[in-house]
Amino acid sequence: MDKDFIDAAEELIGYHFKDPDLLKTALTHASIANTRLESNERLEFLGDAVLGLVVVHDLFERYPGLLEGEMTKIKSAVVSRQTCAKISQLKGLSEFIVTGKGMSRPSGVPRSVAAAALEAVVGAIYLDGGIDNARQFIVRHLAEHIEEAYANEHQDNFKSMLQQHVQRKWNTTPDYRLLDEKGPDHSKCFEVAVVVDGRHFPSAWGVNKKEAEQEAARKALVALGLVGDEPTSAGPS
């Protein structure tokens, strides 16, 4: 690997190495290394651990209402070979991986090799620049995947999120109150509001009571600063 190659790789990664040999090792697959100790396998192992730590730390701070089991599910979805390979290929990192003959394909290196290289780069950045630089790299590339995994985990489950938060913080349960209903029997809309520990949150409409309760729970979570404000239900027609 010459200097131009390393410079181009650093530009893509967005980090300048004090020790370029770390980056060279991170991009060296075992199929071309003289020994496995000279390949990126050890850095991959380290990077996987750093990746997991940073993602869990981000989840812990970004979503204070998440329980341990929920964080575990989201972490598993984000810190996966599939996600790492996708990022490596989309960002062009896989094009910098040095492999032996027979490893390259018209479509590029195997996904497992691409994923391993991304983890190895994380490990290399951690050794070269510390946890803060590694965190910046990880969050920059994984933030949207974290948000997507969170959304998938909690889609249409705002009532559960609110109940878990309320039970933990106030040792009580949310009280859903039907405030109004409009429309003919075959096409009613319902207005529901949630009350938590004496605090009344904004009401919400839904085409049935379940939907109205979900939206009321979402509005309460928004007011509590636990989710973003993205309405899911419409008002009465």
SS3 string, 186-214, reads HHCEEEEEEEECCEECCCEEECCHHHHHH
Catalytic residue among 44, 58, 70, 119: 119
Q: Is 191 a catalytic residue?
A: no
Strand 204-206 and strand 189-196: the pairing is antiparallel
SS3 string, 97-166, reads CECCCCCCCCCCCCHHHHHHHHHHHHHHHHHHHCHHHHHHHHHHHHHHHHHHHHHHHHCCCHHHHHHHHH
Query: In Å, how far are 97, 152, 158, 192, 195 from 175, measured between CA atoms?
Result: 56, 26, 14, 10, 5
Catalytic residue among 48, 58, 70, 191: 48
Sign of the alpha-carbon dihedral angle for 37, 43, 44, 46? positive
Cα angle vertex 65, ends 59, 67, to 5°?
75
Q: Is 181 a catalytic residue?
A: no
| Catalytic residue numbers, as ranges | 48, 119
